[in-house]
Structure 1
Amino acid sequence: MPLGTTIHNIEITLGRGGQLAIVVGVVAKLIAKERKSATLKLPSREVHLIFKNYSATKILGRVRSKCWLGKRPKVRGVVVNHVDHPHGGGEGRALIGRKRTRNPLRSSCIWKKK
């Protein structure tokens, strides 16, 4: 990773998973790289030395960066219009816009008992 990169979920010991900057919104900054180690600046302004072969997660920063990697945005069915999704529509924060879900032929999907 280049210098100045913001990262989170950093391992301290190999194989134990992320132990530094694991809370949402907390990031560490990569400020120097040497032979086998890297220097990080933590949110507490503490400087920490770790090995380079430990894992960390790079923060992409904005949605467009994720799209370049092929990760599409996810939109819940409740928040779209009723013509786009069976759960869409409604006023305000309604749970499901339609009373009954509909199939593409516009007939009700609920079977009536005879």
Structure 2
Amino acid sequence: MPLGRAIHSLEITLGKGGQLARAMGVVAKLIAKEGKSASLKLPYGEVRLIFKNFSTTVGQVGNVGVNQKSLDRDGSKHWLGKRPVVRGVVMNPVDHPHGGGEGSAPIGRKKPITPWVYPALGRRSRKRNKYSDNLILHCRSK
């Protein structure tokens, strides 16, 4: 496969099937090949090594303009199966950690959290010593 080729649906584990770059309009690029491995630039900016014998699909995933589609009127999102999302701030304290207070009260805690009291919005969730750290050559910008 020539360098600079656009590919998608990359395997990370042999025989497991495509795991990377599977969304609509997404593409990864082949940067370099050396020995048994190849370097890829993933859509979110990460440069990563994968083994050459893993399967991929050549080309780009279809339906590129899905994000440009205009949802004309109220209910269009609902027709697509997207349910309404209620903010935690407008709930009661029994329903969400952000709930309660008089009027439009702010979040009563120092940092935003999920309904199950895990930190939300900005906390890094990747494990510190993950086994695949040595395969990532350049992590995405922070």
TM-score normalised according to structure 2 size: 0.41
User: In the TM superposition, what is the alpha-carbon distance from 1:24 to its structure 2 partner?
Assistant: 1.4
Deviations, residues 26-54 of structure 1 (Å, cap 9, x unaligned):
11000000010000001111001000000
Deviating beyond 2 angstroms after TM superposition, the runs of 4 or more aligned structure 1 residues are none
Aligned equivalents of 2:6, 2:52: Cα separation in 1: 15
| 1:32 to 2:32 alignment | yes
**Residues of 1 paired with 2:59 and 2:4: CA distance?**
12
Q: Which runs of 5+ in 1 are unaligned?
A: 62-114
* Cα shift at 1:60: 7.0
Question: Aligned letter for 1:23?
Answer: A
Distance 1:44 1:60 in 2: 15
| Pairs aligned (count) | 61
Q: What are the equivalent positions in structure 2 for 1:19-98 lying under 5 Å apart?
A: 19-59=19-59
Bigger RCO of structures 1 and 2 (CA < 8 A, at least 6 apart): 2
Change (3 A) 1:44 1:60: closer
Taking the aligned partners of 2:22 and 2:50, their CA distance within structure 1 comes to 16
- Percent identity, aligned pairs only, is 69
Is the CA contact 2:11–2:56 (under 8 Å) kept in the aligned structure 1?
Answer: yes
Q: What's the Cα RMSD here?
A: 1.5
- Mapped partners of 1:23, 1:3: distance in 2: 22
The structure-2 alpha-carbon separation of the partners of 1:60 and 1:21, relative to structure 1 and needing over 3 Å to count, comes to closer
Structure with higher Rg: it is 1
